[in-house]
Amino acid sequence: MDTIIAKVTEQGESISKAADILRVGGLVAFPTETVYGLGGDGLNKEASGKIYAAKGRPSDNPLIIHIGEQAALDNLVRSVSEPAKKLMDAFWPGPMTLIFDKSDRVPKETTGGLDTVAIRYPSHPVALRLLRESGVYIAAPSANLSGRPSPTHARHVIEDLNGRIDMILDGGAVEIGLESTIIDVTGMHPVILRPGFITKEMIEQLLPDITVDPAILVEQKQEKLVAKAPGMKYKHYAPRGQLYLVEGTNEKAVFDKINAMVEEAADKGLRAAVIATEESANNYQTGLVKVMGSRLKEETVAKKLFAILREMDDLGVDVIYSESFGQQGLGQAIMNRLLKAAGYQIISADES
Ligand code: TXA
Ligand code: MG
């Protein structure tokens, strides 16, 4: 299939074209404030089927339905709890997805067979214009091939999906760089199923009893907990080279450990890379060093993380050592994505 690749312009002709494609059951990749999405009509089971096929995604991994106004909820969900209302008032439109009991209008092909549905009201102007002009409730997973890092630039979407979908809307780089925070609001006590830009600390201001699904925390591997967001169980975001996260109570020990491992890898003829931050980069003497952003502004780390994982593939790196982050604030979402990309391979700098 020939994929139309079009920049978004002031006049919005490319958005109108994309809206036409969505209305007749086609697929369009478009920017949101978090990552690029691969959109199709969420109420049309053939369109949902095409999304799974284009991504190579397992059919039990449900899609998020995007809406362009809060009133659309009435058509898609059975009921809205008090905690859900508080969250929507505070964070919609924006990088938050809520899980509700689905209405009969939502086909099970879109929800991976579940009786619940994930809904997000994004804030990106292109996403909003596309939703409102098409009148379609847009089911959209991240616009990457299954298992690859989520796309934060149109060029990442082109790499993965050119020739597999009808159109790619190029709206430049996204703002946030990590997917939305997912919160299950089907019960009286909301639970965070996937950490994101809206942090646990921000949610606690409104809902002091908010909890995090234990399956997404660091201990996941050891305890073999089953993730409640089906997508969280798959290997994700993984670069082709093996990624290791290096942790330690003392930063000098982390630098030494990483330097030693880079040298060891080089001795074995492997191409090694380091993922560092602005504050730490000059402590690494050898190997390829990539700077994700500043620890003092973790949103800069979030924004570059997926692009750097993709770059590692472009550079043909065999082994990657990354610094780790704390579990507070945005650090929780950053560590969640890094741990998944690393297949939970953690090296302690304290033990040597
Ligand atoms: O920021 C985002 O959320 C982006 C943009 C495009 O909106 N979308 C995104 O979609 O990240 P995706 O499909 O890559 O991730 C959706 C996650 C998966 O882990 C899926 O299992 C979970 O949401 N999910 C979807 N519906 C669910 C449901 N009914 N119950 C539990 N988890 C659900
Ligand atoms: Mg995804």
C-alpha distances in angstroms, 143 versus 54, 156, 342?
9, 9, 21
Average pLDDT, integer, range 44-53: 98
- Does the pLDDT at position 236 exceed 80? no
Do 117 and 102 contact (CB within 8 A), yes or no? Answer: yes
Band of residue 234 on the pLDDT scale cut at 50, 70, 90: low
Band of residue 232 on the pLDDT scale cut at 50, 70, 90: low
Q: What per-residue confidence (pLDDT) applies to 306?
A: 97
Q: What per-residue confidence (pLDDT) applies to 237?
A: 73
Q: What per-residue confidence (pLDDT) applies to 336?
A: 94
Band of residue 226 on the pLDDT scale cut at 50, 70, 90: low
Which residue ranges have their beta carbon within 6 Å of ligand 1?
32, 34-35, 37, 61-64, 97, 99, 111, 114, 116-118, 120, 140-142, 179-180, 182, 193, 228-232
- Considering every ligand atom shown, identify the ligand nearest to the alpha carbon of residue 152 and give its number: 1
Distance 66 CA to ligand 1 centre (A): 11
DSSP letter for 77, please.
B
- Give the model confidence (pLDDT) of 312-344 as tens digits: 999 999 999 999 999 999 999 999 999 999 999
Alpha carbon nearest to ligand 1 atom 22, residue: 229
Band of residue 220 on the pLDDT scale cut at 50, 70, 90: very low
Average pLDDT, integer, range 303-310: 97
C-alpha distances in angstroms, 195 versus 13, 83, 99, 274, 276?
35, 18, 14, 25, 22
Report the side by side order of strands in the sheet with 272-276. Answer: 288-291, 272-276, 319-323, 242-247, 346-348
- Considering every ligand atom shown, identify the ligand nearest to the alpha carbon of residue 145 and give its number: 2
Alpha carbon nearest to ligand 1 atom 13, residue: 141
CA angle 40, 43, 46 (to 5 degrees): 60
Please list all protein residues whose beta carbon sits less than 5 angstroms from ligand 2, which is an ion.
142
Per the document, the length of the chain is 352
Find all residues with CB under 8 Å of 301, minimum gap 6, and list them.
277, 292, 293, 294, 295, 325, 330, 334
Distance 266 CA to ligand 2 centre (A): 33
140 Cα nearest atom in ligand 1: 6
Mean pLDDT of the chain: 94
- Does the pLDDT at position 217 exceed 80? no
Distance 10 CA to ligand 1 centre (A): 30
- Give the model confidence (pLDDT) of 124-183 as tens digits: 999 999 999 999 999 999 999 999 999 999 999 999 999 999 999 999 999 999 999 999
**67-71, 155-159, 163-167, 347-351, range with the lowest pLDDT:** 347-351
Q: What per-residue confidence (pLDDT) applies to 231?
A: 64
Q: What per-residue confidence (pLDDT) applies to 223?
A: 44
Q: What is the 3-state secondary structure (H, E, C) of 161-198?
A: HCCCCCEEEECCCCCCCCCCEEEECCCCCCEEEECCCC
Spatial CA neighbour of 171 closest among 5, 22, 21, 30: 30
